[in-house]
C-alpha cells in the first residue's frame, strides 16, 4: 500500500518518490548561474550536483568549506565537465552574509537562480552573533539579507538575458507548528517561552511569507523574477541531531517512510529549473506539485509586517 501512495503522481507528473535527476531530466541549465546555500551536505549538496549536471555554473555557499569541497570533488568525479565553485557563508552572521554578497558582486557573475536551502532545526535556545534567536537568524534573517543584497544582480541578469530569474525558499510543513500568533515580533528572543519546535515553525513560516512578499513586489515592479517556497519532504538528514532519541528513530525506522537526499532535493530542483514552473510565483510546493500552506502563510499583511521588521533587524 505505501509504495503505491508514495509513487502516485500529481498534476506535474511527479510524485513523493521522484528524484531531482528525474524531475530535471532533459532540461538544460547551460549558461545559467545559481547559488545554493547549505551546499555542503544533504539536499543542498544534491541540488548543487543536479544543477551543475544540467549545465549551470553553481556557487556552493557553505559554512564548512572542507565538507563542501568533498562534495564538489565527488560531483566532478561523476560529471567531469561540471562547473562549481565554493564561497564561505555563515547565515547566522549578518557580517558573513554581507561579505559573501560583496565577494560575489566582485566576481562580476550574473545570477539566475538563488536556492535558499540552508537551515537549522529545533536547536536549543541561543542567540546569533547579532543577538537574534538562532533558528530565526539562520533560517530567515540570513536568507532575507542575502536575497536583498543579491536582488539588483538578479534583476540586471533577468533584464539583460531575458531569462526568468528564480528564487526558491526551502520551507517545511513544520511551518504549521509555529507559535499561535505566527511570528512573535515582541518575544522573538524570549528564552522563558521558547519552544524548539514552535521556533523552528516560526522560521519556516517566515520563509513562506518572505517568498510571497517578494512575489508581490516583483509583480508590482514588473520584474522577470519568480519567488516560491516549498516543503522538501521529511528527509533523512542530521537536522535532528539536537534530539538524540528522535534522531535515532528518524535514522532507523525513518528509512521506511522518509525521503533520501535525491528525493528531498527534487522539489527545489523542479521549481528552480522546470519549464512548467515558469511564471509561477508566490506559491508553495511539495513533491514537485503545488500545495496549500497554512492560513497564516497566506496572510499578506503578516508578510508585509515581517518584511519591515526584518529590514529593521538587518539595518
CB neighbour burial string for 71-104, b if at least 16 within 10 angstroms, e if fewer = bbeebeeebeebbbebbebbbbbbebbeebbeeb
Helix (H, G, I), strand (E, B), or coil: what is residue 33?
A: strand
Which string of b and e fits 243-255 if b means at least 16 CB within 10 Å? beeebeebeeebe
Taking alpha carbons only, the member of 233, 209, 220 closest to residue 307 is: 209
Q: How many CB atoms lie within 10 A of CB 279?
A: 9
Tell me how far apart the alpha carbons of residues 176 and 291 are, in angstroms, rounded to a whole number: 13
Read off φ and ψ for residue 191, nearest 5 degrees: -70, -35
- Grid cell in block for residue 203: 522560521
| Residues β-bridged to residue 33 | 57
243 in helix, strand or coil?
coil
User: Catalytic residues, which ones?
Assistant: 194
Residue carrying the nine cell digits 544533504: 42
Measured in degrees and rounded to the nearest 5, phi and psi for residue 233 equal: 110, 165
Q: What angle, rounded to 10 degrees, do the helices at 300-314 and 196-221 form? A: 100
Backbone angles phi, psi at 200, to 5 degrees: -65, -45
In terms of DSSP bridges, do strands 83-88 and 113-116 run parallel, antiparallel, or are they unpaired? Answer: unpaired
Amino acid at each position: 500500500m505505501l509504495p503505491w501512495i508514495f509513487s502516485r503522481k500529481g498534476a506535474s507528473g511527479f510524485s513523493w518518490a521522484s528524484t531531482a535527476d528525474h524531475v530535471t531530466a532533459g532540461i538544460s541549465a547551460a549558461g545559467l548561474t545559481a547559488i545554493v546555500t547549505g551546499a555542503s551536505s544533504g539536499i543542498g549538496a544534491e541540488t548543487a550536483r543536479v544543477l551543475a549536471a544540467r549545465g549551470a555554473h553553481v556557487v556552493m555557499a557553505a559554512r564548512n568549506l572542507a565538507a563542501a569541497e568533498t562534495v564538489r570533488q565527488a560531483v566532478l568525479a561523476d560529471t567531469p565537465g561540471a562547473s562549481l565553485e565554493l564561497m564561505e557563508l555563515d547565515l547566522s552572521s549578518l557580517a558573513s552574509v554581507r561579505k559573501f554578497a560583496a565577494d560575489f558582486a566582485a566576481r562580476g557573475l550574473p545570477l539566475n537562480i538563488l536556492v535558499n536551502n540552508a537551515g537549522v532545526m529545533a536547536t536549543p535556545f541561543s542567540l546569533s552573533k547579532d543577538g537574534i534567536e538562532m533558528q530565526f537568524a539562520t533560517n530567515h534573517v540570513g536568507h532575507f539579507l542575502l536575497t536583498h543584497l543579491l536582488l539588483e544582480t538578479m534583476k540586471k541578469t533577468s533584464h539583460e538575458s531575458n531569462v526568468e530569474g528564480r528564487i526558491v525558499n526551502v520551507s517545511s510543513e513544520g511551518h504549521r507548528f509555529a507559535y499561535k500568533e505566527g511570528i512573535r515580533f515582541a518575544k522573538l528572543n524570549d528564552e522563558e517561552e521558547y519552544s524548539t519546535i514552535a521556533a523552528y515553525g516560526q522560521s519556516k513560516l517566515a520563509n513562506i511569507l518572505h517568498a510571497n512578499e517578494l512575489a508581490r513586489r516583483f509583480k508590482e515592479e514588473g520584474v522577470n523574477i519568480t519567488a516560491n517556497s516549498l516543503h522538501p519532504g521529511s528527509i533523512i538528514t542530521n537536522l535532528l541531531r539536537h534530539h538524540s532519541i528522535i534522531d535515532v528513530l528518524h535514522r532507523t525506522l525513518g528509512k521506511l517512510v522518509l525521503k533520501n537526499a535525491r528525493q528531498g532535493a527534487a522539489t527545489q530542483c523542479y521549481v528552480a529549473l522546470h519549464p512548467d514552473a515558469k511564471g509561477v510565483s508566490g506559491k508553495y510546493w511539495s513533491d514537485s506539485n503545488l500545495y496549500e500552506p497554512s492560513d497564516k502563510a497566506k496572510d499578506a499583511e503578516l508578510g508585509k509586517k515581517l518584511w519591515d521588521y526584518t529590514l529593521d533587524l538587518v539595518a
